[in-house]
Structure formats: C-alpha cells, structure tokens
Amino acid sequence: MPRKLILDVDTGTDDAVAIMLAALHPELDLLAVTTVNGNVEIGYCTDNSLRTLDFIGRGDVPVYEGCPKPILRADFPVPRAIKKDGGMHVNTLPVPDPTSRKGDKNAVEFLIETFRAATEEIVLVPVGPLTNIAAAITADPNFARNVPELVIMGGAHYTGNVTPSAEFNIWADPEAAAIVFEAPFARRVLVPLDATFQALVSGSDCGALEALGTNAGIAASRFISQRIKGYDSTQPMKTLGSAPVHDAVCVAYLVEPEIIETRHIHVAVETAGIHTVGRTVFDVNKRGDAPANTHVAFGANGPRFIALLKEIFGGAAA
C-alpha cells in the first residue's frame, strides 16, 4: 500500500518539486497540501501549490491555507523586506494559473481533525516554517501523539543559510520550531542543510529533466534552474551551476530511507540569542543531559536523489 502523507509547505521552488514528487510517486498517497507563511507570503504559497498540482494533473489533491505569520512575532526576526535570496523564490511560479481552488478549512483545523480521526498511518512532512505544526500542538494537546512520524526539512549544524547560525525554516519562526522539537512525537526526523547540501542538482540535470518532455520534468527544470541562479548569486555551492532542492529530499526519504544517513541526537532551538536566534542546537557530542529526540540526517546520496527525480518525473503519469 502507498504511504499516506500530508505536506506542509511554503511554496517556493523546492517545495514545488517536493509536491510533484509526492503527488506522482506510485508508492506515495498525497492526501493534502497545507500552506504556511515562509518563502513567499501565504497567498502566494497557496497559489503556487495549486498551480503546481494542476500543471501535473493532480488538481484533485486538496490545498488548505494556514498561518499567515509566525505564532508570536509580527514578522521574521529580520522583516521579509530585507530578506534576499537572489530571486530563487519568485512570488509566482512559472507555470499556468491554477483552475482549482483552496479548501474551505484552515490548515491547522484540517491537520488536527485529520490526525485525530486517522485509522491508518499518515506521515506529516513540514518543509517550511513550523508555524502550522506548533499551532496544532498548542490547540490540541494530543496532536503530537496522533502523528506517527514527523519528517521536517530545516535546521543546520555546520552551515546556516539565512544567518551564520540559522537555516531559514527554523529562523522564520523559532518559537514555533522550539514547540515542535519539545513535543512528544513518536518519531521525528530532521533533514537539515548538512544533508541537503550533499544532494545538489546541476544545470545539466535540469536539461535532462526538461528533455523528459513531461509537465513535471519541464516544471522541475524551470524551478531548479531558478534556484541555481539564486544560489550562484547569493551563496554559491562548491560546484557552481548547482543547487540543493531541500524539501524534495524529505519526500525521497519516505520511499528510500537509505537516501539519507541519520544520527539519533537531542535537538533544541535557540529563540533568544542575539547572533544565534533560530539556530538548531545539535548535541552531537552528548554534552547535555537531555535525551535524544530527533533522527538527524548528516548525509545524503545525491546521485540516487537526482536519479529518483528523473525516474518519477519521466513517468507517463507526469
């Protein structure tokens, strides 16, 4: 049976690739997409999710809009207007306007009700700021216990991408992230930059994706090419002309767990540091007394990840 999942996204170029992989992989059953303020403002996140699903023929997947701002802060630690990413996240993705519409329910309400009523295992995969997840935990004390597995894209140990210390998803709403890492989920997996930076997609890979001739391949090529342009201008990788596609690595893990290498350690989130707000504190050397609470990926199989994208986006359904 395909694994059931819900994606919580801030779509975003890499979120869009994750949505397509989840919606088209035959071993996955994407039940819904929920959106959260993040890479772009919430309305754009929702619109981008709808247009991505419609473009690949999966407009049947419902999209529910969630929190428009962090749970406590009025904006990001540094206001959005100052955020610079070299244009890798455009407000509107370069695919046709959607014909489907967002669902009537709020995303947080949908998440609480869905996991409370679930009779089969559903994996929750948040790949944007953790605002919706923290709001669900706050509204329903049993929410974390109702989720059998939480797979998060976010955080960094060695390399931040929005400050020297912090990765964007955690930094964007650090109080929400702190709530999520303190909650009693049965299994929590974190895929940070340390892993996703090892799964870079190149310009030539984009050419191969476009050559597949499917809507998914064409869209992925457009989205990832935009990312490469942004990374080359603002935070170039060791190999110029390449970029990580962070969020899709989480989806790849669901069908091929060996695509990442994890360690079970304690993770906490800094919410008050002057220079370290939003930092994920990984107790890799067991210097603290807190027990391990998260399976953290420190490695990723880049070639296999790229091959998986080409396999799925080249399929007839795409």
User: What's residue 150's pLDDT?
Assistant: 98
> pLDDT at position 90, please?
83
**What is the C-alpha separation between 190 and 83, in angstroms, rounded?**
24
User: Beta 242-244 vs 200-202: how paired, if at all?
Assistant: antiparallel
Neighbours of 272 (CB within 10 A): 8
Contacts of residue 156, defined as CB under 8 A and 6 or more positions apart, other chains included, come to: 166, 167, 192, 193, 194, 279, 280
**Coil/strand/helix, residue 300:** strand
Q: Among 104-118, 179-193, 232-246, 285-299, which is the least confidently predicted range? A: 232-246
Confidence at 62, pLDDT banded by 50, 70, 90: very high
Q: Return the pLDDT at 317.
A: 47
- Alpha-helix runs per DSSP H in the chain: 13-24, 42-55, 107-117, 131-139, 143-146, 168-172, 174-182, 193-196, 203-211, 215-234, 246-255, 302-313
The C-alpha angle 72, 150, 23, rounded to 5 degrees, equals 105
213: left (phi over 0), alpha (psi -120 to 50) or beta: left
Burial of 82 (0-12, 13-18, 19+ CB in 10 A): exposed
pLDDT 10s digits, 1-50: 999 999 999 999 999 999 999 999 999 999 999 999 999 999 999 999 99
Tell me if 167 sits within 8 A of 129, measured CB to CB.
no
Q: Indicate if the pLDDT at residue 318 is higher than 50.
A: no
Query: What is the pLDDT, as a whole number, of residue 240?
Result: 85
Least confident range from 27-31, 142-146, 216-220, 237-241: namely 237-241
Q: How many CB atoms lie within 10 A of CB 145?
A: 13
Task: Say what angle helices 13-24 and 246-255 make with each other, to 10 degrees.
Answer: 20
Average pLDDT over residues 131-159: 97
The pLDDT-based confidence of 81 (bands split at 50, 70, 90) is low
pTM over 0.85: yes
Report pLDDT digits (tens) over 280-305: 999 999 999 999 999 999 999 999 99
Read off the pLDDT of each residue in 201-220 and give the average, rounded to a whole number: 97
- The sign of the torsion formed by the CA atoms of 207, 209, 213, 217 equals negative
Among 209, 249, 200, 195, CA closest to 228: 200
The answer to whether 222 and 95 are in contact (CB under 8 A) is yes
Report, as an integer, the average pLDDT of 165-182.
97
Q: What are the tokens at 39?
A: 């890479």
Residue range 83-135, pLDDT digits in tens: 566 677 789 999 999 999 999 999 999 999 999 999 999 999 999 999 999 99
**pLDDT at residue number 83:** 55
Quick one: which H or E segment has residue 4?
strand 3-9
Residue 248: both structure tokens together: 């899709």
| Catalytic positions | 10
